[in-house]
Amino acid sequence: GAVVSQHPSWVICKSGTSVKIECRSLDFQATTMFWYRQFPKQSLMLMATSNEGSKATYEQGVEKDKFLINHASLTLSTLTVTSAHPEDSSFYICSASWGETQYFGPGTRLLVL
């Protein structure tokens, strides 16, 4: 199957700093990537849909100025959590469309102190 990577896998930062998470499709080109957030023992929450070369589409309730998404190439999408606060601590997972399926990255655990 297709491989999606995420970097970093773990990040701890101070409140007020910005954190960038990268999502890469390693062996295929993904015109569409998705960003999810997941709290412990809860289901995936779609944050935004990212299409290469265009602005991301954010789900209702997700602040686009706080969660900046850039999909500059067919293999890379980035999520930047700006001015992170402790309530932003969560597990962030990206996925990429390939054909009629979706492949997930391993996730990035963010802890904001």
Footprint on this chain of another protein (rule: CB under 8 A): 1, 4, 6, 32, 41-44, 46, 49, 91, 93, 95, 97, 99-107, 109
Which of 83/111 has CB closer to another protein? 111
44 in Cβ contact with 94 (< 8 Å): no
Q: Which of 93, 76, 72, 78 is nearest to 28 (CA)?
A: 76
80/102 with CB nearer another protein: 102
Cβ contact 34:94 at 8 Å: yes
Rounded least distance, CB 83 to another protein, Å: 26
